[in-house]
Structure 1
Amino acid sequence: MDTHSSSSNLYQAWDKKSQLAASELNSTNTPLQTRNTVFKDPLDGFLKKNSQGISSSPSQSQKNQYDRFIPNRDPGEITSSQYGISQSASDLSLDTNTLAYQSQVAKACGVSTDSRILRFNSEPPTSDNFDFKKIYKTQTKPTARLNNKRRILANPERVLDAPGLTDDYYLNLMDWSVDNILAIGLDTNVYLWEASTGEVKSLCEAPNGTTISSVKWSDDGSYLSVSTSNGDIQIWDSQTNTKVRTMTGRQSRVSSLSWNNHILSSGCRDGAIWHHDVRIAKHKVAELISHTGDVCGLKWRSDGALLASGGNDNLVNIWDIRSSVPKFTKSNHTAAVKAIGWCPWQLNLLATGGGTNDKHIHFWNTTTTAKLDSIDTGSQVTSLIWSKNYKEIMSTHGFPNNSIVIWSYPSLDKIVDIPAHDSRVLHSAISPDHQTVATVASDENLKFWKLFEVVNTGAKMSELKQDVSVTKNSKAGIASQLGSNRQDKIHSQGNQSINTPTSSLGFGRNGSSMIR
């Protein structure tokens, strides 16, 4: 009790002293009076106006006006201070010219202006910017890419019987016209197969004691040239199924044929190449002598300026139409050269393939006579076909692979290798739309492969149709020339047409269809 009373007395004494000191300060004219007047409590007037009915003594109001630990402030100075702070902050911001300069420098240096200097992880996506609809959207572009992706089937689209096919590497017994008619020579007969209808008909039969050695369509598809083992060459009208003329004079088998407008070139077993003008009676207009072996490969360039020939003497000759001597000769092959192919999009590019002892495909620049490249296929090369749809080249092979191989050009990468037949592939031909390839082998099977199918059937298909029509129109006129200048005896022959289902037809020995 004594301790509590003594502390209370001390507090009362201290309070009286503080009140006495405050009254003395108010009565004295010192600078502190002005300061106290300036820094008086801003809530003092507000409290006085709103304290109705409450009376207080001067000493109580004066005691509520001050505090030892909270200084008094003038409201005007607070407002001016806030304005000064805002002005100083705005002075620190850069003007537009400086920002533009900094952004240009950062862009040139590859630095992001809104990124930190040290960043070890990428910033997490913010919920405001994340589009949750992306989760439910269908990705159409990858699907379209997959649909446009090319597929090469390893199985044939169709298989037909080809009984009686002569197993001879040096012959050329199959060709496909621009009218979509496939011609094939089987032993002593020539058959025509119309791809659009599936109709098969026997066109002609070789004379007694002879066999078919080569067939070749004219550029416009109106006429089919047929050579026999006795050296004769027959020309047949495919629309009327009649023989137009027979050209004689060769003393040995004609193994290869090639058309150049009204000029038909023939390669013989004795190594000679003849040019026949089908418009006149004396059809032989030139003889090219350079090969010493069977001329088994013969092909004119599309513009008709150059002729390429390959023979059993392992030579490749390039002939100019204006000369009877070779423009140049190549001896790089070590076996017979039967496979010859001119590039359709680059006229001076020629590909040649060698036989069993060679197995190589060589590429030549016929302008500079230089060898551009070569491929070791590891197998006998029997034919070559270029694909202008995909800028590729297809090769067919004999022993030991009996396959079809597609190579990209100019990289020469192997795209696909298809085991095609049970025995060596002897002949191949491509459809007029450049999408389907027909192959026939000594296993007596004729197979159709969809190797160069055009995925986008819009502009490309119209382009292909235009190419076919241009070929037919540019070569028009052979029919009238042949009709007005026939001097040889014309033989006509009736032919039997056979209608069978497309999926089950084949070529019979006597003109009948073979059901498989």
Structure 2
Amino acid sequence: MATLAISTPEKQYGSKAFSTKLAGGRLPLLSSPKLPSPRTETIHVPSPPPSTPRPRRSIVTASPRPAWEGLPQSERTLLPTSAIRRKPRTRKEYGKTDRFIPNRRVDEAPIRTVRTPRATSSKQPPSVLAGAAYGLSLEGLSLNDDDDDNTSSHDIPHSKQSPDSIAYQSSLSSACDMAPTTRILSFQPKAPESSRPIDLRAVYNRPLIPRARGAQHRRRIATAPERVLDAPGLVDDYYLNVLDWSRGNQIAIALERQVYIWSAETGTVENLFETSAETYVSSVKWSNDGAHLGVGLGTGEVQIWDVEDQTKIRSMNGHEERVGVMGWNKHLLSTGDRKGQVFNHDVRIRQHKIADLVSHTLEVCGLEWRADGARLATGGNDNLVSIWDARKLDAPQHRKTNHNAAVKALAWCPWRNNLLATGGGSADGKIHFWNSTEGTRVDTVDTKSPVTGLHWSQHHKEIMSTGGFPNNSLTVWTYPELVKSFEVGAHEARILHSSMSPDGTVLATAGPDESMKFWRVGEGTKGGERGAGLVKKEGGEGDRSGMAGQLVIR
């Protein structure tokens, strides 16, 4: 039996042994009077029965030492809370993952206080977690949100919202112009199905990188012209149009005051006429059938010539300045002058002027009818492109001001009627592609040089452009990729004029270096599948029925 000695102080009410300064076990700030010696009592405590020793662990784990270890008993209560080691709270940063996982702590979540529903059966008491999940609501997001129609939100008890929350929701709904009960995200009716069937295999199985063509299918373009002709006296003026290739395989070119006709079949050259000394030829344009030639003069006069008979059929007046561009649409001849006026002439009647197209304020240098005659495109020195509907010519259907220079180059796509290409001059150098029906720009490519001419290929999805400084080059662009597939320096100076052969295989260019060059840019087809007009067959006579071989330049 063990003996335990306990010392207890005697109660002395008259002394200061139990001073208020000792309340709570704290030490007094001043020295206390001497206390009498305590009385010792002996208590016998029975010793505990012997127990079996616990097995020692093979792994010894060191527990962290408390902050108050080693301090006297009287000083432990004076230990500040800052001395206690606590694990600092760290907020997990949101990583760059493919999904959002909230990392907000539970104590930061605004949890509403709700009542837990009672158990429906006395035999099986509800789980505490199930009851809490049933009634818990995090700012309007219920954890009991399922797809069962039998469960109603009115069966779940909710606490009343605070006035501040109601005021905030009211201000938010008024700012969004929505009712407080309206869903921001909701299901909408199905989108209307397309009337045109979509071939998903063609859409999704298309290779991202176009496949390289084999050697037998790769098209080769010669880097040297097939033939070069002298053109002495060619006027170096960007706004004139004095070169055109007819459907009858004849080229008309104006050299100052004279107009020459060169035959691609025989290689012969004939002088059609010469103007008076007071004027010069500012534009030439073949009719659709290739039998007549329209000629514009510097005085504003427009003449029509029968090339086969070499006679002038008629002369039409009305322009006050030089006529720099013309275009045929069957029996209609459209002309544009230096003042920005565009007239439509009906060459069959005496009063030939039937329409005055008012749109441009400066010289008109580009004019092109669409193949079906339903649309007319005009470009001018005012950097404006106007698209006209042939049924309503009192105002242009679309006016485009995207170019930053004069617009001379205009070309309608042969395989897509509503696609129009326009090219800007020196300060622009861009080719814009337009949807003429909607008036929207489809695409743009920067050529880094003034665009003087545009020609669509009849056999490939390509467009050819001629330019000026610094390369003076002929360039072939793939469409719609707009990748430069071929480029060659064509002239020593800028290319002023260009015209395509009727079969679309040869392009004629002319420049101020007083030369006209012929470039093979396409291959002939067999059996008259594409193209039209008179072409010279290798080793035979020409045939008006269609294409029967490559065009031969004599």
TM-score by length of 1: 0.62
Deviations 1:71-111, CA, capped at 9 Å, x for gaps: xxxxxxxxxxxxxxxxxxxxxxxxxxxxxxxxxxxxxxxxx
1:430 corresponds in structure 2 to 500
Q: Cα distance 1:465–1:357, how it changes in 2: closer, same or farther (>3 A)? A: closer
Query: Displacement of 1:385 after TM fit?
Result: 0.3
Q: Distance in 1 between matches of 2:225 and 2:533?
A: 26
1:340 aligns with 2:406: no
SS class of match (2:502): coil
Equivalences for residues 348-359 of structure 1 within 5 A? 348-359=418-429
2:276 corresponds in structure 1 to 207
Q: Distance in 1 between matches of 2:416 and 2:533?
A: 16
1:264 corresponds in structure 2 to 333
Query: Displacement of 1:465 after TM fit?
Result: 5.2
Deviations 1:261-282, CA, capped at 9 Å, x for gaps: 1000000100010000001111
Between 1 and 2, higher relative CO (CA 8 Å, sep ≥ 6) is seen in: 1
SS class of match (1:463): coil
1:278 aligns with 2:347: yes
Equivalences for residues 397-416 of structure 1 within 5 A? 397-416=467-486
Runs of 4+ in structure 1 over 4 Å off: 465-469
2:300 corresponds in structure 1 to 231
Query: Displacement of 1:207 after TM fit?
Result: 2.3
SS class of match (2:529): helix
Equivalences for residues 497-508 of structure 1 within 5 A? none
Q: Distance in 2 between matches of 1:372 and 1:190?
A: 39
The alignment of Structure 1 onto Structure 2 pairs a total of residues equal to 327
1:463 corresponds in structure 2 to 529
**Are 2:249 and 2:533, in contact at CA under 8 Å, matched by a contact in 1?**
no
Q: Distance in 2 between matches of 1:415 and 1:223?
A: 36
2:433 corresponds in structure 1 to 363
2:391 corresponds in structure 1 to 322
Query: Displacement of 1:400 after TM fit?
Result: 1.6
Amino acid paired to 2:467: H
SS class of match (1:163): coil
Query: Displacement of 1:468 after TM fit?
Result: 6.8
Amino acid paired to 2:220: R
Q: Distance in 1 between matches of 2:304 and 2:529?
A: 31
Q: Distance in 2 between matches of 1:468 and 1:204?
A: 24
Equivalences for residues 142-157 of structure 1 within 5 A? 146-157=215-226
Query: Displacement of 1:464 after TM fit?
Result: 2.9
2:448 to 375, 378, 384: 378
Q: Distance in 1 between matches of 2:402 and 2:480?
A: 20
2:312 to 234, 243, 260: 243
**Are 2:424 and 2:431, in contact at CA under 8 Å, matched by a contact in 1?**
yes
Deviations 1:189-234, CA, capped at 9 Å, x for gaps: 0000000000100001122211110000000101000000000011
Q: Cα distance 1:467–1:166, how it changes in 2: closer, same or farther (>3 A)? A: closer
Q: Cα distance 1:466–1:258, how it changes in 2: closer, same or farther (>3 A)? A: closer
Deviations 1:429-453, CA, capped at 9 Å, x for gaps: 0111110000000111100000112
Q: Distance in 1 between matches of 2:321 and 2:351?
A: 19
TM-score by length of 2: 0.57
Q: Distance in 2 between matches of 1:198 and 1:308?
A: 34
Query: Displacement of 1:357 after TM fit?
Result: 0.3
Deviations 1:133-187, CA, capped at 9 Å, x for gaps: xxxxxxxxxxx96444321011000000000000000000000001100000110
**Are 1:404 and 1:419, in contact at CA under 8 Å, matched by a contact in 2?**
yes
Equivalences for residues 174-189 of structure 1 within 5 A? 174-189=243-258
1:295 aligns with 2:364: yes
Q: Distance in 2 between matches of 1:224 and 1:468?
A: 17
Amino acid paired to 1:458: K
Amino acid paired to 1:150: R
Q: CA RMSD in A?
A: 1.9
**Are 1:299 and 1:340, in contact at CA under 8 Å, matched by a contact in 2?**
yes
1:3 corresponds in structure 2 to none
Q: Distance in 2 between matches of 1:431 and 1:213?
A: 22
Percent identical pairs in the alignment equals 53
**Are 2:231 and 2:515, in contact at CA under 8 Å, matched by a contact in 1?**
yes
**Are 1:380 and 1:400, in contact at CA under 8 Å, matched by a contact in 2?**
no
2:153 corresponds in structure 1 to none
1:170 corresponds in structure 2 to 239
Is the helix fraction higher in 1 or 2?
A: 1
Query: Displacement of 1:320 after TM fit?
Result: 1.0
Q: Distance in 1 between matches of 2:532 and 2:408?
A: 31
Q: Cα distance 1:449–1:347, how it changes in 2: closer, same or farther (>3 A)? A: same
**Are 2:374 and 2:389, in contact at CA under 8 Å, matched by a contact in 1?**
yes
Deviations 1:267-323, CA, capped at 9 Å, x for gaps: 010001000000111111110111001000001111101100000000000011122
Q: Distance in 1 between matches of 2:334 and 2:368?
A: 9
SS class of match (1:425): coil
Unmatched runs of 5 consecutive residues or more in structure 2 = 1-212, 536-543, 546-552
**Are 1:255 and 1:268, in contact at CA under 8 Å, matched by a contact in 2?**
yes
Q: Cα distance 1:362–1:281, how it changes in 2: closer, same or farther (>3 A)? A: same
2:145 corresponds in structure 1 to none
Q: Cα distance 1:360–1:403, how it changes in 2: closer, same or farther (>3 A)? A: same
Q: Distance in 2 between matches of 1:200 and 1:295?
A: 30
**Are 1:254 and 1:267, in contact at CA under 8 Å, matched by a contact in 2?**
yes
